[in-house]
């Protein structure tokens, strides 16, 4: 099974905002580099509703830039629900090309909470 240490997690200056919860993607990448873990598959259909319902807006991602073998980063909420923090274009490309699973690195709830910038009061 691949490990997160098989990839170089380059900072890109990205944040991800989901309903007022802002996550520091660069901080997540540093955490993954510091604390390698297994890469596991996630089902595209589990995250697709965010794109279909336009909760997250991502244009068609046919570009070769979006490599589907690069793991996406998934956070874990207190409830246990998982959210995609990085890899929305790869998810879109997987949906558009009929790919059912993507490789993922999963953050624990504590790690997910630690990479949050702030939370709006609503």
pLDDT digits (tens, 9 = 90+) for 35-70: 999 999 999 999 888 775 454 555 555 556 778 899
Mean pLDDT value across the chain: 82
pLDDT at position 106 is 96
Query: pTM for the whole thing?
Result: 0.83
- Could you give the CA distance from residue 23 to residue 27 in angstroms, rounded to a whole number? 8
- Could you give the CA distance from residue 19 to residue 29 in angstroms, rounded to a whole number? 22
Strand segments, DSSP code E, in the chain are: 15-18, 21-24, 40-43, 72-76, 82-86, 101-106, 116-119
On whether the CB atoms of residues 114 and 35 are closer than 8 A, the answer is: no
- Could you give the CA distance from residue 41 to residue 10 in angstroms, rounded to a whole number? 21
On whether the CB atoms of residues 112 and 16 are closer than 8 A, the answer is: no
Q: How confident is the model at residue 118 (pLDDT cuts 50, 70, 90)?
A: low
Domains and CATH numbers, the chain: 23-119 (3.90.1530)
- Could you give the CA distance from residue 7 to residue 19 in angstroms, rounded to a whole number? 30
């Amino acid at each position: 099974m691949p490990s997160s240490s098989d990839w170089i997690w380059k900072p890109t200056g990205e944040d991800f905002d989901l309903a007022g919860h802002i996550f520091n993607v660069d901080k997540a990448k540093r955490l993954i580099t510091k604390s390698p873990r297994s890469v596991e598959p996630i089902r595209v259909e589990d995250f697709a509703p965010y794109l279909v319902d336009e909760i997250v807006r991502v244009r068609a991602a046919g570009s070769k830039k979006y490599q589907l073998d690069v793991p996406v980063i998934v956070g874990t909420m207190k409830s246990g629900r998982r959210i995609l923090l990085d890899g929305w274009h790869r998810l879109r490309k997987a949906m558009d090309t009929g790919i059912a699973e993507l490789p993922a690195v999963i953050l624990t709830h504590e790690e997910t909470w630690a990479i949050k910038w702030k939370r709006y009061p609503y």
